[in-house]
A and B are shown apart, each in its own frame.
Chain A
Amino acid sequence: MTNGPLEEEEIKVFITLNSPLEQFAIIPSIPVKIGNSYSPFTNSPLFMLLTTGLVPLSVHSATKNGGNLEPNAWQSLVELIHDFVLNPVNEQIGGLSENVKQKSFPCIPVTFTFLSFRNPQGMIPYSFTVTSHFIITSGLSFSPFIGITLVGSQRNGLHLFSFLLPAGVPLPLAPFSVLPELIPYRFRALSSGIRLFANMMAGHSLVKISSGFARTMLCLNNIMYFSGGLGPLSIVFALTGPELGVAISQAYVFTISICIHPNDAINLHQLQFSIVMGLKLLSF
């Protein structure tokens, strides 16, 4: 361990330290200037295009010509992803609206596949995690929310607001219950976006911080620092698995939240209403 002033190499190590948040920086890749507006093609849409191009291509190649009757491993993987998403759709979007289930199904596996391939993308060196930006995740969460609310209002009209009235509340209290319930209703979409963004940013930041710490210790050419640097290195190694697990589980949680919205907005309190009406009829 050196006791004197820092050596040149140590100074170089400290100077070249990168911030752990640099991986989330938006960097213009292709400058595009239209008149007075400057709208460059940045790394965010670049990686979005990469994902949306490569994933359908790989799915198409795995299931070429409709696939084989006896699937290979890749085709099995695609089919497992399809079945994995089909279960929550059947469970959450259930009830009377069979048509709604079928119409909303294509959006849900696309969202799941999109997120499950995009979330772990940040683990690739020099790549960019698209879902680590709140604007992206809030767009992903609010767009189905707005669409489902529009569909629900089209189907049920003003009766849509009955969903905001908890079952068993007397009618005079309805205005005092429905209006405050609007806030948590909107916060469902917001919470989905925040959950995904926070998990991705926190996880990738932690990995980058640990790897930066390990790199600093390893590159100081000192046996003591080297032995100490193995600790953060093992942390990075151990974090890789959970980070991949969090990426895929967050994609699944986001997908589940999208599945819950149609059931609530369209079916409303179907089951609860029927139970309440049945109990009222019995009481007469």
Chain B
Amino acid sequence: MISGNMPLAAILSIGVLSSKGISICNEETIVARCSIGFLIFSQRSSGNTSKAAFQDRIGAIQRELQQFLDPNEVVSPKSKEQQQNLRISLRSITPEIVQSLPNETARCAPKCERTVQAVSCRNPNVESATPPNAISSRRIRLRNNIVTGFHSPLIHKFAAGGPDAKKAFPVEPIREGLRRLETTPKEFIKRTPTSEQPPHPRRGPDYSRPHPRRGPDYSGELTPSRIEFLISGLREARDRRHQ
């Protein structure tokens, strides 16, 4: 009812204002009023469409971020102190990774830092009481996601063979650190029996070939001590690169 009477009210108000010379005194005010009226009209007619488009986009981004989390995993309560320590340890990796990036990527350092933080700090919420095979598969997936996430957008920049290519790929310090995890002392590795390891994605649950480099009992869990070892590996790789 009100929206139907809007044009009539507008015409009457224009008539009154123009007869008195109030606010319709020159062309600029007419153009301004028509622009404001057009914006209000377009907001009423298609404002929900644009809002829905933005919401769809935000939803799609949220779904992509949720892929880092397995939706079937269940979070059960764990000691808060242990969780907090693990969260702090995981966050401490982030500056090391960001510092190892070449200068050209330093511009996106805050975003990279946030990405690594968001990816790595989801772990403490999930790893607390989930089954070990789910944790280990997620660890492996997370590690590969972090490495790939830094590798793929930068490979186009450094693959041309120009002066940038002479600098090390930012993924190298990460891989160096992760490679060191293979040679970690035995007490840092939680031994998980082969039967509790995650099933091979293609060869089925009965496939039991042990990892060629890491041995049959490698579980892939990121314990705080292993995280410290990883950080020291990253530092060594960075120092070696700067020499």
**Interface hits, B46-64 → A, CB 8 Å:** 51, 54, 57-58, 61-62
Task: For chain B, give the interface size range.
Answer: 35 or more
Q: Is the CB of B111 within 8 A of A66?
A: yes
In the assembled complex, the CB of A218 is this many whole angstroms from the nearest CB of chain B, namely 4
In the assembled complex, the CB of B1 is this many whole angstroms from the nearest CB of chain A, namely 22
Q: Which of A18, A208, A218, A241 contacts B18 (CB 8 A)?
A: A218
Does A71 have its Cβ within 8 Å of any Cβ on chain B?
A: yes
Does A99 have its Cβ within 8 Å of any Cβ on chain B?
A: yes
Q: Is the CB of B31 within 8 A of A207?
A: yes
Does A2 have its Cβ within 8 Å of any Cβ on chain B?
A: no
Q: Contacts A211-B34, A219-B21 given; indicate if A99 touches B58 (C-beta within 8 A).
A: no
- Against A, the Cβ 8 Å flags (1 = close, 0 = not) of B161-200 are 0100000000000000000000000000000000000000
- Against A, the Cβ 8 Å flags (1 = close, 0 = not) of B85-105 are 000000000000000000000
Q: Is the CB of B111 within 8 A of A219?
A: no
Does A98 have its Cβ within 8 Å of any Cβ on chain B?
A: yes
In the assembled complex, the CB of A122 is this many whole angstroms from the nearest CB of chain B, namely 9
Q: Which of A70, A126, A229, A237 contacts B28 (CB 8 A)?
A: A126
**Which of B35-43, B140-148, B212-220 lies at the interface with chain A?**
B35-43
Q: Is the CB of A18 within 8 A of B26?
A: yes
Q: Is the CB of B31 within 8 A of A211?
A: yes
Does B6 have its Cβ within 8 Å of any Cβ on chain A?
A: no
**Interface hits, B15-30 → A, CB 8 Å:** 15, 18-19, 21, 24-30
Task: For chain A, give the interface size range.
Answer: 35 or more
In the assembled complex, the CB of B157 is this many whole angstroms from the nearest CB of chain A, namely 7
In the assembled complex, the CB of B41 is this many whole angstroms from the nearest CB of chain A, namely 8
Q: Is the CB of A215 within 8 A of B35?
A: no
Q: Is the CB of A125 within 8 A of B32?
A: yes
Contacts of B157 in A (CB 8 A): 102
Does B108 have its Cβ within 8 Å of any Cβ on chain A?
A: yes
Does A114 have its Cβ within 8 Å of any Cβ on chain B?
A: no
Chain A, Cβ-Cβ closest to B115: A69
Does B74 have its Cβ within 8 Å of any Cβ on chain A?
A: no
Interface SS majority for chain B: helix
Contacts of B19 in A (CB 8 A): 221
In the assembled complex, the CB of A201 is this many whole angstroms from the nearest CB of chain B, namely 16
Does B118 have its Cβ within 8 Å of any Cβ on chain A?
A: yes
Q: Is the CB of B27 within 8 A of A241?
A: no
Contacts of B160 in A (CB 8 A): 98-99
- Against A, the Cβ 8 Å flags (1 = close, 0 = not) of B68-79 are 000000000000
Contacts of B211 in A (CB 8 A): none
Does B209 have its Cβ within 8 Å of any Cβ on chain A?
A: no
Does B110 have its Cβ within 8 Å of any Cβ on chain A?
A: yes
Q: Is the CB of A218 within 8 A of B24?
A: yes
Q: Is the CB of A76 within 8 A of B27?
A: no
- Give the complex CA separation of A72 and B154 in angstroms: 26
- Give the complex CA separation of A70 and B58 in angstroms: 6
Does A226 have its Cβ within 8 Å of any Cβ on chain B?
A: yes
Does B14 have its Cβ within 8 Å of any Cβ on chain A?
A: yes
Q: Which of A98, A211, A221, A226 contacts B30 (CB 8 A)?
A: A211
In the assembled complex, the CB of A12 is this many whole angstroms from the nearest CB of chain B, namely 10
The interface centre, meaning the residue of B15, B18, B19, B110 with most chain A CB atoms within 10 A of its CB, is B18
Chain B, Cβ-Cβ closest to A9: B21
- Give the complex CA separation of A207 and B113 in angstroms: 50
In the assembled complex, the CB of A234 is this many whole angstroms from the nearest CB of chain B, namely 9
Does A228 have its Cβ within 8 Å of any Cβ on chain B?
A: no
Does A1 have its Cβ within 8 Å of any Cβ on chain B?
A: no
In the assembled complex, the CB of B143 is this many whole angstroms from the nearest CB of chain A, namely 19
In the assembled complex, the CB of A78 is this many whole angstroms from the nearest CB of chain B, namely 12
Q: Is the CB of A219 within 8 A of B65?
A: no
Does B2 have its Cβ within 8 Å of any Cβ on chain A?
A: no
In the assembled complex, the CB of B46 is this many whole angstroms from the nearest CB of chain A, namely 11
- Give the complex CA separation of A18 and B31 in angstroms: 14
Chain B, Cβ-Cβ closest to A223: B15
Q: Is the CB of A70 within 8 A of B38?
A: no
Chain B, Cβ-Cβ closest to A216: B27
Q: Which 5 A-B pairs have the closest CB atoms?
A: A66-B111, A66-B110, A125-B28, A218-B18, A211-B27
Beyond known contacts A219-B24, A219-B25: 13 more, CB 8 A cutoff: A66-B114, A69-B61, A70-B58, A70-B62, A76-B54, A99-B160, A102-B157, A123-B31, A125-B32, A215-B24, A218-B15, A229-B18, A240-B34
